[in-house]
Homo-oligomer: A and B are copies of this chain.
Amino acid sequence: MLKYSGQIRLLVAVDCIILGFDGEGYKILLIQRGFAPEKKKWSLMGGFVQPQESVDEAASRILGELTGLKSVYLEQLHTFGAPGRDPVERTIAVAYFALIDIQKYEKQLSKEYHAEWFPLKEMPELIFDHSQMVEMAKNRLRYKAALHPILFELLPEKFTLPQLQALYEGLYDTTFDKRNFNRKLLSTGLFVKQKDKDKDSSKKGAFFFKLDQGKYLNNFQAFLKFIPNPEKFLVP
């Protein structure tokens, strides 16, 4: 089935930037590369696109192999195609980023790949152009989260307002006024207050909220200003 003669064919890989939140801060899931070159160095989880699967399917498959997760938020980020980016052989990398709730899935991580969660701020040096991919994923997430309710992909079903605020503050590495923050978030109407409280992180306890799933799915495209002064934080 090779019919465009005279053209070269290239390896096409998928690399996944897997970001998580554990209630404390952002983490990234990395694997220790098991083969040369750069053996033992840390790397994004990746793999080659197979003959019968789409690139999107390859990304899902690779994410599933590492974490056992299906139906995780997964979005194509960017394609990296410099000729020398993989020294072994020219490879085009399509980068995807995934958002997962670490607490929910921690135990499902495959042992096979020596995967480890790193605090995003203490990420080790990565192979090839993977650091650049992570940087781009961070920017994309900041951009998107300023406008769309995407960060809920990182939270458990039930969450508290202080947790939510920590999630936003961690992403933008800043602090927000909790009165204004709560008012803005609640005004979206996306949340349903629960009767029970999270008593783990304070004496008084903070009420749990759940997403109103119907509104969430219908309002994802809603263009909301979740953070003040977005221009300070965003890179287009």
Contacts and interface: CB of A to CB of B under 8 A. Distances in A.
Nearest to A144: B236
Given A236-B220, A236-B221, A10 B8 contact: no
Interface in A62-88: 76, 78-83, 88
Interface in A202-236: 220-224, 230-231, 234-236
Interface stretch (A49-57, A107-115, A165-173, A191-199): A49-57
A11 interface: yes
A228 to B, nearest CB: 11
A117 interface: no
Contacts of A81: 12, 49, 54-56, 58, 94
Contacts of A50: 8
27 contacts: A1-B90, A3-B88, A3-B89, A8-B9, A8-B50, A8-B51, A9-B9, A10-B10, A51-B90, A53-B83, A54-B81, A54-B82, A54-B83, A55-B92, A56-B81, A58-B81, A76-B78, A79-B94, A81-B94, A92-B92, A92-B94, A148-B236, A220-B236, A221-B231, A221-B234, A222-B231, A224-B231
Name the 10 nearest CB pairs between A and B, nearest first: A55-B81, A223-B231, A9-B9, A54-B82, A7-B48, A79-B79, A223-B230, A3-B88, A3-B89, A10-B12
